[in-house]
């Protein structure tokens, strides 16, 4: 279908506005102590923000008469869709590991804020999985659903759209410092590939959730190894006093 000028304008506003919003209202390194004391509340706030923006975008799509299937809400063949989900999740985790190692090799520091956002207790892990699910559905729809499809038709084809949405996705993770933005940009590029080849959002949604869940449920220990060792040493010192 041909997307309306309003749909294109809204997609551009999302691509520019989401990183700006994250920069203006997002967490900062100086918020480490507050986040450590209230991780579940931070998760809840993030989930609500994502779901509200997703609902607004659904409303814009309905208002402009855009069928959900034109934005990736379809699965023509579950078998290949699941295969793409597994491949995207595996590739995403491998990419995360490679970027972490690259950052260590060239001296790009990890964000301490990203480290303290990782769940520690069972309650925090359950809350983290809820926000991971909200992020998987909401962010995939916003970036690889609405923005990608509008840009692909209006601004030069699928690979131009893939590049634009991946960069926007990466910059929106600016609170994770340069290494985090690089990591998110690469992940965005990987997660858009199943959408290009299958036309469906579901492989990317599933892969996005699996990646977040794997990192949140223990993978953060190898994602932030230096910070994890520092935290363990600090805890040991505190117990010895």
Q: Cα–Cα distance between 76 and 85 in angstroms, integer?
A: 14
Q: Print pLDDT tens along the chain (241 aa).
A: 689 999 999 999 999 999 988 877 666 666 678 778 888 998 999 899 999 999 999 999 999 999 999 999 999 889 999 999 999 999 999 999 999 889 889 988 888 888 888 999 999 999 999 999 999 999 999 999 999 999 999 998 999 999 999 999 999 998 888 999 999 999 999 999 999 999 999 999 999 999 999 999 999 888 777 777 775 654 444 444 5
Do you know the residue count of the chain?
Answer: 241
What is the chain's alpha carbon radius of gyration, rounded to the nearest angstrom? Answer: 18
Give residue for tokens 């304008």.
Answer: 9
**What integer pLDDT is reported at residue 34 of this predicted model?**
76
DSSP codes, 30-59: GGHHHHHH-HHHHHHHHHHHHHHHHHHHHH
Burial of 235 (C-beta count, 10 Å sphere; 0-12/13-18/19+): exposed
- Give CA 225 to chain center in angstroms: 21
192, 148 Cβ separation under 8 angstroms: yes
- Give CA 71 to chain center in angstroms: 18
pLDDT in tens, 154-209: 998 999 999 999 999 999 998 888 999 999 999 999 999 999 999 999 999 999 99
**What integer pLDDT is reported at residue 235 of this predicted model?**
45
The H-assigned helical ranges of the chain are 5-25, 32-37, 39-63, 78-106, 112-116, 122-139, 148-154, 158-171, 177-198, 202-214, 220-223, 225-240
pLDDT in tens, 151-162: 999 998 999 999
């Amino acid at each position: 279908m041909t997307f309306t000028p309003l749909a294109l304008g809204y997609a551009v506003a999302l691509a520019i506005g989401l990183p700006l919003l994250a920069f203006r209202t997002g967490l900062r390194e100086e918020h480490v102590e507050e986040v450590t004391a209230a991780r579940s509340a931070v998760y809840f706030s993030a989930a609500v923000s994502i779901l509200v923006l997703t609902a607004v975008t659904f409303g814009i799509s309905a208002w402009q008469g855009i069928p959900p299937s034109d934005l990736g809400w379809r699965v023509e063949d579950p078998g290949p869709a699941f295969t793409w989900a597994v491949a995207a999740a595996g590739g995403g985790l491998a990419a995360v590991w490679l970027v972490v190692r690259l950052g260590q090799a060239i001296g790009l520091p990890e964000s301490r804020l990203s480290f303290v956002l990782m769940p520690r207790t069972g309650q925090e892990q359950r809350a983290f999985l809820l926000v991971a699910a909200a992020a998987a559905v909401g962010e995939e729809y916003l970036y690889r659903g609405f923005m990608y499809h509008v840009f692909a038709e209006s601004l030069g084809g699928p690979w131009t759209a893939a590049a634009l949405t991946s960069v926007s996705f990466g910059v929106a993770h600016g609170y994770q410092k340069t290494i985090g933005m690089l990591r998110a940009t690469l992940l965005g590029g990987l997660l858009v590939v199943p959408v290009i080849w299958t036309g469906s959002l579901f492989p990317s949604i599933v892969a996005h959730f699996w990646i977040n869940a794997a990192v949140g449920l223990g993978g953060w220990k190898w994602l932030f190894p230096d910070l994890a060792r520092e935290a363990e040493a600090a805890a040991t010192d505190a117990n010895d006093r």
